[in-house]
Chain A
């Protein structure tokens, strides 16, 4: 049986009222980013010697990496564990991961005081540095994601390369190149798919080791030797909710029918995954006896309770409920809660749990920091939309269904 659903560019106008609002947020972010590069980090942020890391690291980077976990989890599910039912969601998931990781790298550049020396990472290695491991894994993984997304490019343009004027002479060569790229990519793709999953497992967990180094500066509720394991489990459990959330919102925005049967099947995995994560989190708390900190009323204890109750227990219960899995608004709510939980986990570890040895004032993100973070998120959404409108990403029903022919020439013959 031939597929009736096939990834193809969505035919919709780019601008809608929401898109215009998002564009305004983006422009605001760009202005602040410009100020940051001209006048320095201190000019736009509330960072100081007591609080060297703020929301750019806590949200843009740490939470950004976790929330881009939809790529490797879906990729593993379909390509490694061969759950072919979910084939149609791999493309959007991998494309979102590509965009997400690109912006993690940009977020790091924003935060690096000497961003123009970022390439030092490629050859100045420090094997004992957790940050080095995270950095090198993220860099390699971004590259891997771009390779994994090559089919979007080749499928879109093979047989359709039509440059104007003098450049037209190159049409044939480019087309040939794309065909070779397509063949080569098809042959070696499995290598990058596995590599992507391995790299993700490594850096998702190492992100949890990062703040362990701060020792007594991290609140005992989060300062645990199994921190890498918790980061890893939480990343895995948030991957599918991210895919579900994106799929539901994209289908609404593009006026398409949501793939509810695929999404609710995918949602079935989330409950048990969140359960494993919760078991380790609570088990760790019981073994280290950190529940005593919950009896005192403090910012840390309140944030921990919000993180675990609303971000883990509640979505876990919802995902284990058939009614939720088959209702669009409830599934979206459950996914949002799971995403919120992981976002809170990262923010708590990187910002709330961090108490400087000496502190003169507490840290609250500045307007500039918030603007840049919002600007980045806006740009991610806009690029997602741009790519979905122009590349074969989102599966849609094919209207002119053709019976399978014996021979097909991809993209047709060159004129």
Chain B
């Protein structure tokens, strides 16, 4: 390095810089699909109507090729007294909460991926394995995933589950809104179809919001004036109506800001046209060169 002249310094720096710039593939082609369509679909869950029959759990397992087990197990309601979470064996579960001020009645809450409008998992995924499709579904691409589990860190609802017991091809598992088999073809999801009491309504998200507001306006005594998912983390495709406060039903209390929060703007600020890294490079190069200059003068 010491034998190099200043002119060489610039020549090599320029060449190497150009080489690196030329190697960068276009960013747009690689970015994951993240569409926020006005016509996106969703599901409205009325927790006051749901009877906790768990038919949706069975339908979901059948749809996704997961072992259903004995049907008798689904009649047993003792299991519902403890909170369960979706995992690799069940992409949706129903939890039951007894109403404290109205004994004998209960709220049943179907839990699954909320299909956020601004999904943290899509923002987080290192290889863009998650995408938000035009119909609202947030889906996972097995061919891309490297199994880093950052989506699980990112998800505010803690939905993605990972097959920890598999050494090869472990999957990230969560509700996919039946994207492949149903909703991409205009059909409704397996759980909605299976519901015997119409606690679930499949439709365009704006229609569902209208319906939900109408329900609340119609029976203001029965419903809490809050649609969970209308504003939470910037909006979700799954929307919930309830008679009691949502935190009683183990819904997390979240802000109205999109879940990716400050990280995305921060990330974009750092990498806007690579200006900050390149300026830093130029600055350090300048300092290095000035110092080199001084050294040479001293030596002369």
Contact = CB atoms under 8 A, between A and B. Distances in A.
On whether the two chains bind one another, the answer is yes
A211 B266 CA distance: 13
Contact of B162 (A52, A187, A216): A52
Contacts of A131: 124, 126, 148, 150
B95 to A, nearest CB: 11
A114 B261 contact: no
A189 B166 CA distance: 44
Contacts of B163: 40, 42, 113
Contacts of A354: 153
A282 interface: no
A25 B11 CA distance: 49
Contacts of A41: 164, 170
A113 B170 contact: yes
Nearest to A43: B165
Interface string A97-123: 000000000001001111101101101
B18 to A, nearest CB: 12
A126 B158 contact: no
B70 interface: no
B262 interface: yes
Interface residues of A, number: 71
A287 interface: no
Given A42-B165, A113-B149, A225-B262, A132 B3 contact: no
Interface stretch (A195-203, A257-265, A271-279, A401-409): A195-203
B153 A213 contact: yes
Interface in B104-135: 120, 122-129
B252 A216 contact: yes
B126 A126 contact: yes
Contacts of A197: 284
B254 A216 contact: yes
Nearest to B122: A128
Given A211-B153, A213-B123, A128 B277 contact: no
A187 B1 CA distance: 5
Of A121, A124, A358, the most chain B CB neighbours within 10 A belong to: A124
Interface string B74-90: 00000000010101100
B101 interface: no
A47 interface: yes
B263 A212 contact: yes
Contacts of A358: 83, 85, 158, 250
A42 B164 contact: yes
A68 B126 CA distance: 23
A215 B127 contact: no
Interface stretch (A7-15, A75-83, A291-299): A75-83
B146 A114 contact: yes
B271 A133 contact: yes
Interface string B142-170: 00111111101110111011111111011
B263 A113 contact: no
Contact of A115 (B13, B144, B146): B146
A125 interface: yes
Interface string B36-68: 000000000000000000000000000000000
Interface in B243-272: 250, 252, 254-255, 259-264, 266-268, 270-271
Contact of A214 (B153, B169, B170): B153
7 contacts: A49-B162, A52-B153, A120-B144, A125-B25, A195-B281, A215-B156, A358-B83
- Closest 3 A-B residue pairs measured CB to CB? A113-B147, A42-B164, A82-B291
Given A82-B291, A120-B144, 15 more contacts: A42-B164, A43-B165, A113-B147, A114-B169, A121-B126, A124-B30, A129-B126, A130-B263, A131-B124, A132-B127, A198-B277, A202-B270, A215-B259, A225-B266, A356-B158
